[in-house]
Chains A and B, each alone.
Chain A
Amino acid sequence: MPASQLPDPQSLLPLPTVTFHILMAVAAGDRHGYAIIQDVAERTGNRLRLGAGTLYRSLERMLRQGLIEETGDRPAPEIDDERRRYYRITRRGEAVARAEAARLTDLVRMARASGFAKGRA
């Protein structure tokens, strides 16, 4: 899909939690599907364990939205598994993730001002 036909990044907000976690997982470097599951589990202290169905449906949608892309590059052959596809965050993905983070920060700031959360507004 040409970039001009992609939806406006703002229209994707708020991002589904799973999508945000996947973006965070691939931000550090290219990952294959199972690695993303592990990464998310680790990051959340096992509180969020993605099922394969949920993961690949999200990945498929994120590909369509242009948030991630499949990479042609492969790691060294000895650690690569032929079946695996690797995903990389796109610039658009980064921009959307940043926008989402800003939105959340904003939200937290307002929550503090209302006394719902600790810390300074």
Chain B
Amino acid sequence: MTSLLLYRALLLLYPASWRAEYGDEMRAAFAARLRGASGFPGKLWLWLEVIPDLIPSAAAVQFDVLGQDLRYAARTLRRSPSFAIAAVAIGAIGIGATTAAFTMVDHVMIRPFPYVQADRLVKLTESPIDKPGDWDVSPANYRDWKQMSRSFSGMEAYRSLSADVSGQGEPRRLDGASLTAGALQLLGVRPLLGRWFTEADDTDAAHCVILSYGLWQSQYGGDAAVLGSVIRLDGRPHTIIGVMPRDFYFPNRTALLWTTMHWAPDAFEDRTDTYIFGVARLKPGVRVEEARAEMRGIGARIARAYPQQLANLTVRTIRLRDDVSPRSLLVLKVLSGAALCVLLIACTNLANLLLARAMVRRRELSVRTALGAGRERLARQMLTESLILTLAGGGLGWLLAHVMLPLLVKLIPVSLPLAEIPPLDHGILILAMVLVCATGLGFGLIPALRGQRQILSGLREGGRWGIGGARQRLRSALVMIEVAGSVMLLVGFGLLSRALLRVEAVDPGFHAEHVLTLETSLPMPRFETEEARDPFYRRVLSETRRLPGVRVASYISFLPMVHGGGIWPVEIEGHPLDVALRPRVSLRFVTPGFFSAMGIPLRMGRDVRESDIHKQPYVAIVSQSFVNRHWPGLDPIGRHFTMADVPRTVVGVAGDIRVRGLERESEPQVYLSWEQADNVSSWYAPKDLVVRVSGDPLLLAPAIRRIIHEADPEVPISDVRPLDDIVSAETETRRVQLAVLGAFGAVAFLLAAVGIHSLLAFAVSQRTQEIGVRMALGAKSRDIVGMTLFDGLKLAAIGIAAGVAIALAEGSCLDSLLFGVAPYDLATFAAAAALAMLMTLAGSLIPALRAVRIDPTAAIRAE
């Protein structure tokens, strides 16, 4: 008895259709042999024969059936190529968009950083007590945090670094980071070659450098003999002691080399001299909230000890992984929302397509059912069809996602310590494919199965059956969802386009046309003093000015928009304040001619002059907002303020410029003479060259390069570009964002139009007779067209109303990206609604015209 049961269970390996056909036979044959087998050895022998027979044969049968189903599906799909193409394309779009978008979400928010137990690492910075902020730390504060805290098993510090690398071909400016000796150990990543830094490397005497894998490959061809060789960073020889592994990045993707940080003994005196960040590893069992509370307490204690320097400051403790700007997060949310919307629309469209197909195929299915095809067999075939469509769609979607990813990466201008273009997330790809496949099954298979009984009755009635009211209603609902989704995307697109126009309309405060800019970072320490720099500036500027087509040339510390920092406190004469409370301005050193080179209007007084040199009175040009804030209504010329412990006299007033970029408020600007930089670090030394020309700025680049190279062959030249480009780079993220949203919106829009069209076309074909009768009874063409269009518009109206409601909520989420455009901007909503209406009309037009062309006599005769 057990043997028979076991055999019955083994038969489950076969497809049900096979079991129905041969199951009884096989059991009977087995039973007959069982009767012949005597005792335990006989039965054992029987099983030893049966199992090696049954299992391969079951597999072969399954394989046969799969082959049949595949051939069958391929044949049916070939017979309706437009359906197959549409279904695959729709699936691909939904799958591709979702995969790309969520790969980005995963990349920016979730993927662990390449460190050991990265979730235990936190970043420590200073921040104002009353608002969010992420400010650098003074070495003194860092040292106290490290000594006082108990939550961490280790705390280290780092700062970004930019160094001229020479000794190998053209001098180059490379980004890197300075680290305290234990930082790499704290991160837990061993060098691929060589060793970590040690405490001994942390002295001023030992200069060593660790290379990134990328730099090692590109510059040294991956040669292991590189260890021990010497390169010059900013002129100082550094010994290469290690190479980090390929996937290691710290603190961001751009860092190509790492050196140790050297602190002079006096580095721990000034707590306002901030330039490092802390990184720490939580002790086992300590939660980040506990560490945060402890650090706040420590911050408060230190601030009480140094009330003047640390007023209003606290410590910010954040998981290293969570250090992503809120704006990037919002962009991501918009992106993934739009992708979900596209997926939803793709699925509804697919559902719609399949419902229509199921209705068309009822006849085929009923014939096959009548001929004895079992439910299971039909289900299997439709499953195979769905799988084929999904796999094709998934494959195409995978390609699509690969094309989209490099574009999406530009959306989020973060340089996380991860590879630039994230590997495609196959989990999400599969999830999206499962969703599409489920839609295919849900709307293709289930109705087919559920409708079987009714199909059979339909077959008996001959070729005629009803419209399938419930199903048509479902299809209408799906179309409404599509309309609502596309309205949502259109509104998002519209609002963000208007925001872009607004940002582009912002006056940067200077005239960017016909200006060439480039950076000549001056190798330190050779150029540390003003005396050393001065001959270089004079030579380069005078020779550049002599070039034909050059109108003005000038040097500045940092170009606006390229570098927004360089903030310094000032003390206005007659308003003494603690350092922390002093007004902060954007400080730049310039050579004469800067304002005319940039096209910044000089409102009062004069420019910096050649004569404003070291021994002369210290002069300053301030921006209009500086005057408005500190001397409203007064004549600013001749007034004084103190900066870097030196009193300065205002000699001119310039127009304000957008130092921090088009979308951000900038501090008031103060420009000082390039020769009067006492007490200010050489970091502020002018190194960005601005040349106003009369023609195409890039044409002069080779000549200017030559001049600089002749003036000093060790000075690296980088970032040669027109000022225009710098300004348009400001809006690049927005443009990419719009392109993505626009593409998503266009796809959604198109899909919705197709959905409306196919729904109405089907309705018209089902109502041929009714329309024929109406026409025979005297209905005019106009009435028939009106009737069809009305059906479409009714759907659109409901969809638009829903879309507008959702878009209103959407707009308020987008608020911080809208740059002042109202989230409920009437024009945008009206345009989106109108477009959706137009789309409906366009989608309904062909079915409506087809309805008119119905020949009443033929239609009624068919009845």
Contacts and interface: CB of A to CB of B under 8 A. Distances in A.
Interface of A: 32-34, 37, 49, 51-57, 59-60, 81, 83-85
A53 B56 contact: yes
Interface string B41-80: 0000000011011111110110000000000000000000
Contact of B26 (A49, A56, A81): A56
Contacts of A83: 24-25, 28
Contact of B60 (A52, A57, A81): A57
B61 A52 contact: no
Nearest to B68: A64
Contacts of A51: 49-50, 52-54, 57
A75 B22 CA distance: 20
Contacts of B49: 49, 51
B359 to A, nearest CB: 29
B32 interface: yes
Nearest to B25: A33
Contacts of A34: 25, 28-29, 32-33
B25 A56 contact: yes
B57 A57 contact: yes
A99 to B, nearest CB: 25
A121 to B, nearest CB: 39
A84 B26 contact: no
Between B21, B22, B50, B52, the greatest number of chain A beta carbons within 10 A of the residue's beta carbon is seen for: B22
B30 interface: yes
A33 B57 contact: no
Contacts, number: 54
Tell me which of B28, B29, B60, B61 has the highest count of chain A C-beta atoms within 10 A of its own C-beta.
Answer: B29
Interface in B91-122: none
B319 to A, nearest CB: 59
A33 B29 contact: yes
Given A34-B29, A56-B57, 20 more contacts: A32-B25, A33-B25, A33-B26, A33-B29, A49-B49, A51-B49, A51-B50, A51-B52, A52-B25, A52-B54, A53-B26, A53-B56, A53-B58, A54-B57, A55-B29, A56-B22, A57-B60, A57-B61, A83-B25, A85-B25
A53 B24 CA distance: 12
A75 to B, nearest CB: 15
B57 A53 contact: yes
A64 to B, nearest CB: 10
Nearest to B31: A34
A29 B53 CA distance: 26
Contacts of B30: 52
**Minimum-distance CB pairs A-B, first 6:** A51-B53, A53-B57, A34-B29, A83-B24, A53-B54, A52-B26
23 contacts: A33-B26, A33-B28, A33-B29, A34-B29, A34-B32, A51-B52, A51-B54, A52-B25, A52-B29, A52-B30, A52-B50, A52-B54, A53-B26, A53-B53, A53-B57, A54-B57, A55-B29, A56-B25, A57-B60, A60-B21, A60-B61, A84-B25, A85-B25
A87 to B, nearest CB: 11
Interface string B1-29: 00000000000000000100110111011
Nearest to B36: A38
A60 B22 contact: yes
B571 to A, nearest CB: 96
A32 B28 CA distance: 11
Nearest to B57: A53
Contacts of A57: 57, 60-61
A56 B32 CA distance: 16
A33 B30 CA distance: 11
B56 A37 contact: no
B644 to A, nearest CB: 92
Nearest to A34: B29
A59 B24 CA distance: 15
A33 B26 CA distance: 8
A54 B58 CA distance: 9
B374 to A, nearest CB: 15
Given A51-B49, A54-B53, A57-B61, A37 B29 contact: yes
A86 to B, nearest CB: 11
A52 B18 CA distance: 13
B130 to A, nearest CB: 79
A52 to B, nearest CB: 4
A57 B50 CA distance: 14
A37 B25 CA distance: 12
Residue of A51, A52, A59, A81 with highest tally of chain B CB at under 10 A: A52
A56 to B, nearest CB: 4
A32 B32 CA distance: 13
Contacts of B61: 57, 60
Nearest to A32: B25
Contacts of A54: 53, 57
A32 B55 CA distance: 22
B421 to A, nearest CB: 50
Contacts of B18: 60
Nearest to B13: A53
Nearest to A33: B25
Contacts of A84: 25, 28
Interface in B671-718: none
A52 B53 CA distance: 7
Contacts of A52: 25-26, 29-30, 50, 53-54
B371 to A, nearest CB: 13
Nearest to B55: A53
A117 B30 CA distance: 39
